[in-house]
A and B are shown apart, each in its own frame.
Chain A
């Protein structure tokens, strides 16, 4: 009886493994075809195993779209947004959850609403105003906008976390003569470091993946992010099969690196964020 049961388990595992394989097949197939030469692709189609490693396609694509530049833009924008949005979230949440300012429920409700707002309802005025301010088509404009958008979520999450911050610690520090800044930077921030780490990673990855606003705001090649550059190329329908695969692989790789490096933070963070 026990043996029969144990045997019955394997079909379930097998089915789950097949489903998981289905999820990653697109990645595998892209990787396979990105290392084929155009001639080989034309001869054998997309499903054959590559004869050898042909890296010229990747290299050509890299140089043609100046991929180093796009990576640099993405890192610069996502990195600045992540840091600035965490700082802004900390300041907001400190006032709301620790300072318990008047009307904080409304302030918090406002941040939640701002978080839900579709970017379509902001995009044209942001485009128009940034043109007026001379910030259109600059990386700075995208950094400013996403710092605020990400901080809406960060404020909401951090306020929930900080509202359970032990008040005795703060009172003790105040009695010892620490002012509000010192309490914030020497006590609240160090104690909340794990949550801040999760937010930092999330803001980075989310900003990296953003599409609509960067597509509208960054029109010159020199300022575009990886997402926008690849999306625009795809939209123009000018790429042949080998180039498409090179583009896809180069787009997948950074995401894969983040995933492997941050996997724990990402999965833990989603759980934290969702139950709040």
Chain B
């Protein structure tokens, strides 16, 4: 506390103290009280309970039986569990890697090509089209796509038929070899707007003179993209990759509505796996163990993401000074 008083400037710090004696300063804590109580009831207690239950054998009724680490040992041998996390990697490709890569190119093209040559209105309208799926409830997106991808009269199959590619007709969501890729395709469509909007906002910070100078030196669009756009909006790229990776690990609604984890577990993901274990198989202890592992992975990833981000910022500042 003393550090901040000093950091806030010695003079104001002292005045501050004479105006607010310690008790007055601490009474700000009263404003935190409702929030603290609400968090205790809705986040902390349930989270601790969930972790506790993961160490027990419990069907949701009666009293839980202590099981120690048995659930976690069982997880290690559970092929379904490993499979669900393997699918998470596919979801990270579909929800973080691909949307970031495509979003970067689209954002740069919209900002620096369309925005400059056709006016910012055109760019804004196009951006709105890409962003639209982001405001859609995932349940609704699921309904739309499961109908488009339906095997018999789905629009995609009908379209293939109409353009003479009838032999390409597929049961997009029902074929175990294809379903995961179909879900991935839908997730790219859902997710793309988020990186695009963040990157376009980030590009507004970039000094236009950088581009002009590069253009005068004869650098083509791709070179300007690689040497100016990418380095300049690196903070945004870090944030987007971290956020989207976490979102990919949490994906639930899309899987529930599109495939329910099927066919035969081909699209099962950790969150759906824990949901089904909780409420369909009612193996609450085991479900709690799955969700605890998921939580740990997400927290570790977020910390790593944050570390990388601050280190990149430090490195940049180091370069400047």
Residue of B with least CB distance to A215: B256
Residue of B with least CB distance to A141: B42
Contact with B along A187-231 (1 / 0, CB 8 A): 000000000000000000100110110011000000000111011
CB-based contact A88/B138 at 8 Å: no
Residue of B with least CB distance to A47: B158
Chain A residues with CB under 8 Å of B142's CB are 231, 234
Chain A residues with CB under 8 Å of B158's CB are 45-47
Contact with B along A231-251 (1 / 0, CB 8 A): 100110000010011011001
CB-based contact A251/B256 at 8 Å: no
Chain B residues with CB under 8 Å of A268's CB are 201
Stretch at the interface among B70-78, B90-98, B125-133, B206-214: B125-133
A9 in contact with B117 given A94-B31, A101-B29, A274-B239 (CB within 8 Å)? yes
Chain A residues with CB under 8 Å of B275's CB are 120, 123, 212
CB-based contact A244/B202 at 8 Å: no
**Residues of A123-143 contacting chain B, CB below 8 A:** 123-126, 128-129
CB-based contact B19/A211 at 8 Å: no
CB-based contact A96/B32 at 8 Å: yes
A274 in contact with B198 given A20-B129, A118-B294 (CB within 8 Å)? yes
CB-based contact A116/B136 at 8 Å: no
Residue B291 contacts which of A118, A151, A235 (CB distance < 8 angstroms)?
Answer: A118
A19 at the interface (CB under 8 A from B): yes
Chain A residues with CB under 8 Å of B131's CB are 259, 266-267
Chain B residues with CB under 8 Å of A148's CB are 38-39, 41-43
CB-based contact B139/A234 at 8 Å: yes
> How many residues on the A side are at the interface (Cβ–Cβ under 8 A)?
94
CB-based contact B140/A101 at 8 Å: no
CB-based contact A145/B31 at 8 Å: no
Chain B residues with CB under 8 Å of A255's CB are 135-137, 140
> How many residues on the B side are at the interface (Cβ–Cβ under 8 A)?
104
Interface residues of B, dominant DSSP: helix
Interface centre among B1, B15, B143 (most CB of A within 10 A): B143
Chain A residues with CB under 8 Å of B126's CB are 16-17, 20
Chain B residues with CB under 8 Å of A180's CB are 27-28, 31
Residue of A with least CB distance to B243: A274
CB-based contact B114/A252 at 8 Å: no
| A256–B135 CA distance with the chains assembled, in angstroms | 8
| A94–B318 CA distance with the chains assembled, in angstroms | 34
| 8 residue pairs A–B, Cβ–Cβ below 8 Å | A101-B29, A116-B246, A129-B45, A148-B38, A205-B135, A212-B275, A231-B257, A275-B239
Point out residues on A near B: beta carbons under 8 Å.
Answer: 6, 9, 12-13, 16-17, 19-21, 23-24, 26-27, 29-30, 45-47, 88, 91-92, 94-96, 98-102, 107, 110-111, 113-114, 116-126, 128-129, 144-145, 147-149, 151-152, 155, 167, 171, 174-175, 180, 184, 205, 208-209, 211-212, 215-216, 226-228, 230-231, 234-235, 241, 244-245, 247-248, 251-252, 255-256, 258-259, 263, 266-268, 270-271, 274-275
